[in-house]
Amino acid sequence: MSHIELRNVTKVFGAKTALKNLDLQVEDGQFFVLLGETGAGKTTTLRIVAGLDKPTQGTVLIDGVDVGEWGAAERDVALVLQQYSLYPRYTVRENLEFPLKSKIRRVEPSEIASRVDRVAKTLRIQHLLDRKTDRLSGGEMQRVSIGRAIVRKPRVFLMDEPLSALDAKLREALRTELKNLQMELGATFLFVTHDQIEAMSMGDRIGVLNGGRLVQTGTPYEIYNRPQNTFVARAVGSPPMNLLDGDVADGQAVVARSGTGFPVSGRVSAQVNGNAGKPLIFGIRPEDIRLESGGPGEATIHDIEDHGVEKILTLRAGETTLKATVPARERVRIEEVVRFGWDADKVVLFDRASGRNLAVG
Ligand SMILES: Nc1ncnc2c1ncn2[C@@H]1O[C@H](COP(=O)(O)OP(=O)(O)OP(=O)(O)O)[C@@H](O)[C@H]1O
């Protein structure tokens, strides 16, 4: 299929810089997810790749060719949006046929029929082919929208939060379907979302966008386990990584400061060479904290969320709050004082001034 590359792309709208020096590569057959909060620049990126907007500066290449002067139709990309863009008075079949009936494409009627049938089968909407699209459920409509994109066999699929209008169950089902579909087609997907679970579960690679800048690109594993800075550490994980103020003491060891009211004095065997005296942030994921008598931390249980398979505890010590995900079998109660510990190699250290991960440099 296709390869997408953005080189040093900046987009300015009046006084607002929506994208700043964006470098991005989506490999052939890759499911690339751009993750960012509202206003981060996700839609702007897609519109620039689709040819609906021009970058203020920078280059867009598809299969190594600069497509800056190409219109949207010439780029041969399909854009699937959160809102379904279907023709309501037409049947599902007519909606699927429509992109193939344009004069430019000149697809033979027999070819149209076979492509529509194949797509309907893939998306399991054969039984809906003769139904008007205004009589479909949200999930069915979104399947048809995706079908309209697939039927054209575009070079690239651009997806702008296509699942976010659906209810949680359907979203989960379509997540799996969409990922399977992409693998089956061997298609190149650039998918944008603000939903970290979508990003982690679907992406071969994730790009984390913050205020128009790409802060980190990596596999879901890298983004989760080796966040380059505190922004990325907070962007994935539910609850997100705990970030506590800490300091370097005794050369290699780090002591989380008790000055914030958290009586933690655990040593961390991470490399802190050259960082003695530097204010740090001590990052630990909720699932890496365990309750243990004699552990270095002490806190009061402020809240318990029972998720069936596990419990999420809110721990408080002084002014510091910490989340811990513990097995459901842990018997705990609110207001109880507990001791806890963690594996030293699970701790991520950040420079407090810049927010950068010290291990990443
Ligand atoms: N046509 C425009 N004119 C002016 N400002 C714009 C325009 N389009 C986008 N912006 C601004 O650029 C920034 C990025 O917008 P964009 O729509 O790309 O964000 P997003 O990450 O897709 O957000 P959301 O998740 O809310 O859709 C925002 O601050 C937005 O207000």
* Residue with CA at minimum distance from ligand 1 atom 17: 43
Single residue among 235, 254, 273 that ends a domain in this structure: 235
Tell me the C-alpha distance between 199 and 208, whole Å: 10
CA of 211 to the centre of ligand 1 (A): 10
pTM of the model: 0.89
Q: Whose CA is closest to atom 3 on ligand 1?
A: 13
Q: Copy the structure tokens of residue 213.
A: 């800048």
CA of 8 to the centre of ligand 1 (A): 18
Question: For the segment 40-77, what is each residue's pLDDT rounded down to a tens digit?
Answer: 999 999 999 999 999 999 999 999 999 999 998 899 89
- Taking residues 231-255, report their average pLDDT: 78
Q: Do both 228 and 248 map to the same domain?
A: no
ipTM of predicted complex? 0.96
CA of 42 relative to ligand 1 center, distance in Å:
8
Between the CA of 107 and the centroid of ligand 1 the distance, in Å, is: 37
Question: Which helix (H) or strand (E) element contains residue 199?
Answer: helix 196-202
3-state secondary structure of 211: coil
**If you take atom 26 of ligand 1, which residue's CA is the nearest one?**
38
- Taking residues 160-187, what's their average pLDDT? 86
Q: How far is the CA of 297 from the centre of ligand 1 (A)?
A: 43
Best mutation site among 16, 82, 194, 198 for ligand 1 pocket (most ligand atoms within 8 Å of CB)? 16
Same-domain pairing of 106 and 208: yes
CB-CB neighbours of 301 under 10 Å = 19
Pocket of ligand 1 (CB under 6 A): 13, 16, 18, 36, 38-44, 194
Nearest residue by C-alpha to atom 12 in ligand 1: 18
Q: Distance between CA 171 and CA 263 in Å, rounded?
A: 42
pLDDT at 83 over 80: no
Give the domain CATH number at 169. Answer: 3.40.50.300
The CATH number of whichever domain residue 263 belongs to comes to 2.40.50.140
Spatial contact of 290 and 316, defined as CB atoms under 8 Å apart? no
Domain identity same for 325 and 195: no
For residue 36, give the ligand 1 atom closest to its CA.
Answer: 21
Return the pLDDT at 306: 95
Domain assignment present for 360: no
In the listed set 219, 235, 251, which residue is the last one of a domain according to the structure? 235
79 shares its domain with 155: yes
Establish if 358 belongs to a structural domain.
no
Going from the Cα of 71 to the center of ligand 1, the distance in angstroms, rounded, reads 21
Nearest protein Cα to ligand 1, atom 24: 38
Contacts of 154 (CB under 8 A, 6+ apart): 76, 77, 78
Residue type, 22: L
Same domain, 171 and 58: yes
Atom 28 of ligand 1, nearest CA residue: 39
**Which domain, by its residues, includes 174?**
4-235
User: What would the mean pLDDT of 2-18 be, rounded to a whole number?
Assistant: 97
pLDDT of residue 250: 56
